[in-house]
């Protein structure tokens, strides 16, 4: 059973064991507007918490998506590269961005649960 965590940078992580699927929240995709380009990380890349893992571009602007924890990228969602609008239409589903193997599950304790995140974005 996966547990979902949220970051203050409007990302979600669905964690099962030591693997997390990461995407941006529905609130984030709404703020960004229609996405037209997504630059995904290479599989095998090791990222540090806070480092830019993905760049998403809307019609108007580019935005960074940060790694929410330390770890290694084990998969990237190529579907959002060919159709960036998937992130708008299914931010928390088929519009996921990458999968990572967590280096330190202890980093999850600082993240929010759904109720905490809802309180943050109102």
Partner 1 sequence: MTGDPKHLPLDDIHRESGAKFGDFAGWSMPLTYPAGVMKEHLHTRAHAGLFDISHMKLFVVSGIGAAAMLSKACPIDAAALPLRQSKLSFFLDDAAGILDDLIVTRLGDDRFMVVANAGNADADEALMRSVARHYNCLIEPLDRVFLALQGPEAAAALEEAGIDLDGLVFMNGLEPKPNWFMSRSGYTGEDGFEIGLPEGDARDLVKKLTADERVMWVGLAARDSLRLEAGLCLHGNDIDPTTDPSGAALIWAIPKDLREMGAFNGAGSLRAILADGAKQKRVGLKPKGRQPVRGGAPLVDEDGNTVGRVTSGGFGPSVGHPVAMGYVATALAKPGAGKLFAEVRGQRIPVDVHPLPFTPHRYVKG
- Give contact residues for partner 1 (rule: CB under 8 A): 33-34, 36-37, 39, 55, 57-62
Instruction: State phi, psi for 26 to the nearest 5 degrees.
Output: -60, -40
Q: How far apart are CA 63 and CA 51, in angstroms?
A: 13
User: Between 59 and 121, whose beta carbon lies closer to partner 1?
Assistant: 59
Q: Which is nearer to partner 1, 3 or 31 (CB)?
A: 31
CB of 121 to partner 1, least distance (A): 14
| 90 DSSP 8-state letter | -
3 versus 89: smaller Cβ distance to partner 1: 89
What Rg value do the Cα atoms of the chain yield, rounded?
A: 13
Q: CB of residue 57 vs partner 1: minimum separation in angstroms?
A: 5
* Smallest distance from partner 1 to CB 3, Å: 32
CB 25 within 8 A of CB 102: no
């Amino acid at each position: 059973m996966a547990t979902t965590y949220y970051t203050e940078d409007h990302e979600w992580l669905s964690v099962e064991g030591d693997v997390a699927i990461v995407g941006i929240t529905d609130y984030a995709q709404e703020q960004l507007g229609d996405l037209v380009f997504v630059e995904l990380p290479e599989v095998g890349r090791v990222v540090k918490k806070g480092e830019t893992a993905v760049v998403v571009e809307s019609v108007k602007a580019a935005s960074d998506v940060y790694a929410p924890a330390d770890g290694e990228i084990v998969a990237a969602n190529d579907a959002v590269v060919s159709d960036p609008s998937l992130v708008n239409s299914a931010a928390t589903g088929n519009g996921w961005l990458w999968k990572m193997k967590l280096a330190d599950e202890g980093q999850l304790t600082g993240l929010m649960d759904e109720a905490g995140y809802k309180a943050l974005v109102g």
